[in-house]
Structure 1
């Protein structure tokens, strides 16, 4: 690496689904750009593996890996390559994931972070997460795990993935902010509200929009790690913003 190049400051923003992390990230990026600071935003959702790659995981590891979400369904190596390029002062293409198609968007739809990027905001529901202890994996946390992962193979594989390259990615964070939901129960309401907004924007009959029942099942994939993050991360995050059920900030504390 050229030591004359100043590597970008990497700000991690972690928050459960619907907590407002993407809105906050974009607002902060706009503010910093207005001040002349070259800023890029990367969502961990945009690092999801392609649909074909997840189908292979579903076949070879566990059927539940067909659904995007848990550690193991992200292309962490791609994220590390982006950081390495920016650290070296090179421009980097930022992937985009098309949730309507449940697949990675074509490369011509990607954006580019310039080589002089001074601030990279890495946001996502599990940014900065640490793996659970092995003993915590024994008991299922919901019906999805109880009925479709009775032997714990899926959750153990996801936890092992989180303990691997994800930690190398998160080690690059210079500062970690947690948007702390008041509990997992609020996340369900936020996610349903989010999907209703997507449905209104997409129009009647749009593909890729989930029903309330589908959202209810979908968030069960995220429940275990979301609960773990809410219990474990507040003690070590650099900044914790505790939210009310209406997402109003109730308190802000520094680690």
Structure 2
């Protein structure tokens, strides 16, 4: 994911020049202030205000972020190279998204007065796991303890999923509601929220490579607590909808069998609501066209095959991705969340090139 607009490339260079002391802070200050006022970071702890902060307050905020930026940029650059394998480093994205979002999480954590359970929802290929890794690194550099937990870590055991598949063959792949241990998730999130540093917490972990790709649980990771929990997944925070919507559902929900499966998954989603109630906030990573997920999955598989690893064919990818769309169709379940301030706190829209399209808070 990289931030773009007509002047984005020069903005990236501007930040590089400032870091290299080829430009001074007074030279770039007006540009940064103008840019800041166009983003939802204009307030410290609340959603977008009707009017921007006074210029003097913006200048102070900009200076604080510049100090942060100079301190963290070299370290974060190395992290992205070493841990994520990035060849280039988007300074513009660090400025526009990563730093202000990390600071927003800190302010949210202070406001709730207990460990923050931050939900992060995004479909396949949206970059939610990468974003969680980067935010974790930034927050840990500020001295905070961060726990990353994926909905995938809550999958039922291989044996339990095999039993589910025998009972209902429609659940042939892991992923949809019904394939997770919700009670395990509730226990873990409640323990994290309590924040008792004297009691170690077992964070479940899942290895997707086991059982020829079917995956299974592995030994948990033990931690002593966290200031911020980043809980991410492709349907974290998604709520059941009126079943009548499936009568006119978009493709690939086409047959009566498809509609019956969608209704079953919708019913099973009800069991996840207590888990979503543990969330303090929810951020939505939203592709401007949900069908990008298929394109991104094909690119990922092609890269794996090019590197000598095994991967799915285009036909297999299409069937796999459409299985998820049949279970929780993005147009029915995800798209409406962009406009529901009682469900989502921040929306980050992404275009076909994984570029940052826009950031906004749903209208109240």
TM range (shorter): 0.7 to 0.9
Change over 3 Å in CA distance of 1:66–1:253 after alignment to 2: same
Cα separation, 1, equivalents of 2:165 and 2:206: 19
Among 102, 118, 140, the alignment partner of 2:227 is 118
| CA-CA distance at 1:213 after TM superposition | 1.7
Cα separation, 2, equivalents of 1:213 and 1:121: 33
Contact kept, 8 Å, 2:190 with 2:278, in 1: the verdict is no
| CA-CA distance at 1:96 after TM superposition | 2.0
Contact kept, 8 Å, 1:41 with 1:122, in 2: the verdict is yes
Change over 3 Å in CA distance of 1:196–1:114 after alignment to 2: farther
Contact kept, 8 Å, 1:95 with 1:111, in 2: the verdict is yes
Partner residue of 1:230?
334
Structure with more relative contact order (C-alpha pairs < 8 Å, separation 6 or more): 1
Residues 135-157 of structure 1: CA distance to partner in whole angstroms, max 9, x if unpaired?
012356445x546x617442222
Change over 3 Å in CA distance of 1:198–1:83 after alignment to 2: farther
Partner residue of 1:242?
349
Contact kept, 8 Å, 1:47 with 1:96, in 2: the verdict is yes
The answer for unaligned runs of 5 or more in structure 1 is 1-5
Change over 3 Å in CA distance of 1:227–1:91 after alignment to 2: farther
Change over 3 Å in CA distance of 1:112–1:196 after alignment to 2: farther
Partner residue of 2:145?
38
Q: How does 1:16-27 map to 2 (within 5 A)?
A: 16-27=123-134
Aligned residues between the structures:
239
Among 33, 42, 48, the alignment partner of 2:155 is 48
| CA-CA distance at 1:83 after TM superposition | 0.9
Residues 173-216 of structure 1: CA distance to partner in whole angstroms, max 9, x if unpaired?
11111111111221101122233344456x34x4xx32222111
| CA-CA distance at 1:125 after TM superposition | 0.6
2:200 aligned with 1:98: no
Q: Give RMSD over aligned pairs.
A: 2.0
| CA-CA distance at 1:70 after TM superposition | 1.0
Contact kept, 8 Å, 1:184 with 1:223, in 2: the verdict is no
Cα separation, 1, equivalents of 2:338 and 2:355: 18
Secondary structure of the structure 1 residue equivalent to 2:183: helix
Cα separation, 1, equivalents of 2:277 and 2:294: 30
2:290 aligned with 1:184: yes
Cα separation, 1, equivalents of 2:152 and 2:299: 19
2:239 aligned with 1:130: yes
| CA-CA distance at 1:217 after TM superposition | 0.7
Change over 3 Å in CA distance of 1:230–1:155 after alignment to 2: closer
Cα separation, 2, equivalents of 1:146 and 1:239: 32
| CA-CA distance at 1:113 after TM superposition | 3.3
Contact kept, 8 Å, 1:7 with 1:86, in 2: the verdict is no
**TM-score (norm: length of structure 2):** 0.61
Secondary structure of the structure 1 residue equivalent to 2:170: helix
2:315 aligned with 1:213: yes
Larger radius of gyration: 2
Contact kept, 8 Å, 1:244 with 1:250, in 2: the verdict is yes
Residues 19-46 of structure 1: CA distance to partner in whole angstroms, max 9, x if unpaired?
0000000100111111110101001112
Secondary structure of the structure 2 residue equivalent to 1:96: strand
Decide which moves more: 14-23 or 94-103. 94-103
Contact kept, 8 Å, 2:117 with 2:193, in 1: the verdict is no
